[in-house]
Structure 1
Amino acid sequence: MSHTILLVQKTQSPASKTYIECNSVALAMDEVISMYEEYLKKKFPQKERIEFDVNEVLDMVFHLPDCAALVLDQKSGSYVPHDKSWIQKQVVVRAQSRAR
């Protein structure tokens, strides 16, 4: 388990910058997927059941003004930065493992 910090800017406003701390990369990717679920719940409040495809989550990540992850490297004790494309790959991995 590698401590992971998600850095997210949800809108063009610098005030929308935030971070989320997670105990693992998998949990951080769950947070990314949850961000999309929350967006859909707000967009379609009348729907009891919301379904979406992982590609929609990837598109959300792509269109965020800023999104990055810092993952703790246990050996060096330092955080390794990762960009949106890495996050998108990890979201796919997580979605596949959740589907099993």
Structure 2
Amino acid sequence: MTQRHTIILLQPTQNRATRTFIDYQSVPDAMDGICGLFEKRLKDANPNLRNITYDISDLYKYIDALTDMSALVFNPTILAYAPFDRSWIKQQAFERLKALARD
């Protein structure tokens, strides 16, 4: 599933105007993008800190705090996008960070 086009749908706040999407070439790229959004939020909230660290529970809290987040992953077998929920995204993010830690 790693090289399948992935669309992340998100709504950061209750305001429906904040709904947006970001597309990525693969699931790992999408997970990197989600981590990047979280890291940007941390940097914006802590502009005077040079190094910011976080653990997986912090990332999970960020994902859970969003009003909505889901993923659409292209499935070439059916030539359509399959939907995945927030818990799947959290599991994929965990797997991605674990893989990066091994490298």
TM-score, normalized by length of structure 1?
Answer: 0.97
Shift of 1:14: 0.9
- What is the CA–CA distance in structure 1 between the aligned matches of 2:11 and 2:73, rounded to whole Å? 18
Q: Which residue number corresponds to residue 6 of structure 1? A: 8
The one of 23, 42, 55 equivalent to 1:21 is 23
The alignment's TM-score, normalised by the length of structure 2, stands at: 0.94
Q: How does 1:69-88 map to 2 (within 5 A)?
A: 69-88=71-90
Do 1:36 and 1:60's aligned partners in 2 also have CA atoms closer than 8 Å?
yes
Give the partner amino acid of 1:50: I
* 5+ long unaligned stretches in structure 2: none
Structure 1, unaligned stretches of length 5 or more? none
Which runs of structure 2 are paired with 1:47-58 in the superposition (5 Å)? 47-58=49-60
The CA RMSD over aligned residues, in Å, is 0.7
Identity of aligned residues (%): 36
Structure 1: which 4+ aligned runs deviate by more than 3 Å? none
Q: Which residue of 2 aligns with 1:34?
A: 36
- Count of aligned residue pairs for this structure pair: 100
